[in-house]
Amino acid sequence: MDHLLDVRDLRVRFRIDKHSSVEAVKGVSFVVPRNSTVALVGESGSGKSVSSLAVMGLLPAGQALLDPASQILFAGRDLLALAPAARRRVCGKDIAMIFQEPMSSLNPVFSVGFQIGEVLRLHMGMNRAQARLRTLALLDEVGIPDPARKIDAYPNQLSGGQQQRVMIAMAIACAPQLLIADEPTTALDVTIQKQIIDLLARLQRERQMSVLFITHDLGLVGEIADSVVVMRHGEVREAGPVRQIFDRPQDAYTRALLHCRPPLDARPRRLPVIADYMNGELDGKPGGAGGAPAAVPAAAPDRVRGYLPGDDKVLVVENLSKSFFVREGWFGQREFQAVKNVSFTLARGKTLGVVGESGCGKTTVGLTLLRLHQASGGSAMFEGKDLLAMPAREYQAYKRRIQIIFQNPYASLNPRFTVGQILLEPMRIHRIGADDRERAASAHRLLDRVGLPAAAFHRYPHEFSGGQRQRIAIARCLTMQPEILVCDESVSALDVSVQAQVLNLLQDLQDEFGLSYIFISHDLAVVRYIADQVMVMHQGEVVELANSDELYRNPSHPYTRALLSAIPRGVAAAR
* pLDDT on residue 308: 67
Average pLDDT, rounded, for the chain: 88
Contact 79, 51 (CB under 8 A): no
Class of domain 3-247: alpha beta
Name the pLDDT band for 131 (thresholds 50, 70, 90): very high
* pLDDT on residue 6: 97
Name the pLDDT band for 160 (thresholds 50, 70, 90): confident
pLDDT at position 295 over 80: no
* pLDDT on residue 285: 44
* pLDDT on residue 188: 75
Which residues, in sequence order, are CB contacts of 109 under 8 Å at separation 6+? 154
* pLDDT on residue 292: 41
Distance CA 229, CA 292 (A): 19
Average pLDDT over residues 446-460: 91
Q: Do domains 3-247 and 305-401+482-575 have the same CATH topology?
A: yes
> Which segment of 162-166, 355-359, 489-493 scores lowest on mean pLDDT?
489-493
Average pLDDT over residues 209-221: 89
Percent of the chain with pLDDT over 70: 93
Q: How many CB atoms lie within 10 A of CB 18?
A: 6
DSSP states along 120-189 = HHHHH---HHHHHHHHHHHHHHTT-SSHHHHTT--GGGS-HHHHHHHHHHHHHTT--SEEEEESTTTTS-
Distance CA 22, CA 28 (A): 15
> Which segment of 253-257, 295-299, 345-349 scores lowest on mean pLDDT?
295-299
> Which segment of 248-262, 275-289, 357-371, 525-539 scores lowest on mean pLDDT?
275-289
pTM for the model stands at 0.82
Name the pLDDT band for 139 (thresholds 50, 70, 90): very high
Which residues, in sequence order, are CB contacts of 382 under 8 Å at separation 6+? 314, 315, 398, 401, 402, 484
pLDDT at position 493 over 90: no
CA neighbours within 13 Å on the CB side: how many for 25? 26
Contact 242, 222 (CB under 8 A): yes
* pLDDT on residue 38: 97
Assign domain 305-401+482-575 to its CATH architecture. Answer: 3-Layer(aba) Sandwich (3.40)
Where do the domains of the chain lie? 3-247, 249-303, 305-401+482-575, 414-481
Average pLDDT over residues 174-192: 86
pLDDT at position 12 over 90: yes
Q: How many CB atoms lie within 10 A of CB 6?
A: 17
